[in-house]
Amino acid sequence: MTSKQDLQLDGNHSDLASLLQLRHPAQELNIYSRQYSRSVLLGQQRTSQRGRGMEFEEVRQYQAGDDVRTIDWRVTARTQVPHTKLFREERERPVLLVCDLRPNMYFGSQVRFKSVQLANLAAQLAWAAIHHKDRVGGLVFNAKTQHDIRPARSKHRVMELLHTLCEDPAQDLQQDSISIADILLDSRRVARPGSAVFILSDFHDFDEAAHHQLHCLARHIDVSCIKISDPLESQLSKLHGLSISDGKQRSQLSNEQALRDFEQRQINSAQLLEQACKKSAVELLHCQTNNNPIAFLKERFSQKIKRRGKNG
């Protein structure tokens, strides 16, 4: 298997070749929904609908209207009462990856940029979805525009997503005109009931408007939020004389009040995000730039971990 040493998962720019290689560790991930799928297309996710599907569920007494082809003749002969087999249908679950690549994500103090960590995680989730024969698509946002990648059961669709994640952001590193609330609102437009939506962002501007949009999105969608942060962001007020650079210019952070204000905004948005996810039953995962992206997802979505279903 490809080791982390063989992959260029670090730095300030996502590497397409390494994102392609992430399809190997992604095969160990099981990202199936905590809720039963509502999609009407066949796939590998189980639904609570009963019919002639792929997976046997139980035997019960025959009732008027049951398909005679499902009669269990062995149980019927043993009990002298007609019994029929019930099956749980397997259906696909569209997976939508909502990727926030606004200017705040192009920052990192350890190992890699937040944008690079996002690409590493999104690539694995996309490959895992394709491996489980789900449709996969994405919404990729930068400062002023977005890229819509409609869900499809196709490696070409994954490639389209990866190419978008690897695009040069230089021309887009300007003040945001798209908020996290806008991103969530547009996710509601694209995602269909029964979909699984993974939102990858630092959520730096999460506010009450975003809280409302997240709540509305989670009503009929299986939502998971992956918050990507850098260790330095929570320690700025404790550092003095810190220099930052965009690769061309260098500045020194010397305004202590501004640093304290920034840190407090980070705390406020983080607390609101925690409350919103808890209220809406949304799974919230925290990933930092110095976390191994392969180990991070493997720990949460290992094939050996059985995630609890809607009724259990």
Concatenated DSSP letters for 202-249?
Answer: --TT--HHHHHHHHHHTTTSEEEEEEEE-GGGGTGGG--SEEEE-SS-
Query: Is residue 172 packed enough to be buried (19+ CB in 10 Å), middle (13-18) or exposed (0-12)?
Result: middle
Question: Six-digit token pair at 163?
Answer: 């190419």
Q: Are 86 and 80 in contact (CB under 8 A)?
A: no
Question: Six-digit token pair at 47?
Answer: 């639904």
Share of the chain above pLDDT 70, in %: 79
Q: Are 56 and 87 in contact (CB under 8 A)?
A: yes
pLDDT of residue 312: 39
Q: Are 281 and 34 in contact (CB under 8 A)?
A: no
- The residue among 39 and 60 whose pLDDT is bigger is 60
Mean pLDDT value of segment 212-221: 93
pLDDT of residue 50: 35
Which H or E element spans position 17? helix 16-21
List of residues 6+ apart from 248 with CB closer than 8 A: none
Report the C-alpha dihedral over residues 108, 111, 114, 115, rounded to 10 degrees.
110
Residue 177: pLDDT over 90: no
Question: Six-digit token pair at 90?
Answer: 């397997």
Asked which of 13-17, 123-127, 197-201 is least confident by mean pLDDT, the reply is 13-17
* Domain 4-36+93-237+252-301: CATH superfamily, name plus number: von Willebrand factor, type A domain (3.40.50.410)
pTM score: 0.76
The number of CA neighbours under 13 Å toward the Cβ of 102 is 21
Question: Six-digit token pair at 123?
Answer: 């690539």
List of residues 6+ apart from 247 with CB closer than 8 A: 12
Rounded-to-integer distance, Cα 134 and Cα 151, Å:
9
293 - beta bridge partners?
none
The number of CA neighbours under 13 Å toward the Cβ of 202 is 25
Mean pLDDT is highest, among 33-37, 168-172, 257-261, 304-308, for 257-261
Residue 227: pLDDT over 90: yes
Domain ranges of the chain: 4-36+93-237+252-301, 42-91
- pLDDT tens string 34-57: 444 444 444 444 444 333 334 566
In degrees rounded to 5, what are phi and psi of residue 184?
-65, -40
Residue 273: pLDDT over 90: yes
Asked which of 91-100, 211-220, 289-298 is least confident by mean pLDDT, the reply is 91-100
Residue 80: pLDDT over 70: yes
The pairing of beta strand 136-141 with beta strand 250-253:
unpaired
pLDDT of residue 168: 76
> 């070749």: which residue's tokens?
17
Q: Are 151 and 94 in contact (CB under 8 A)?
A: yes
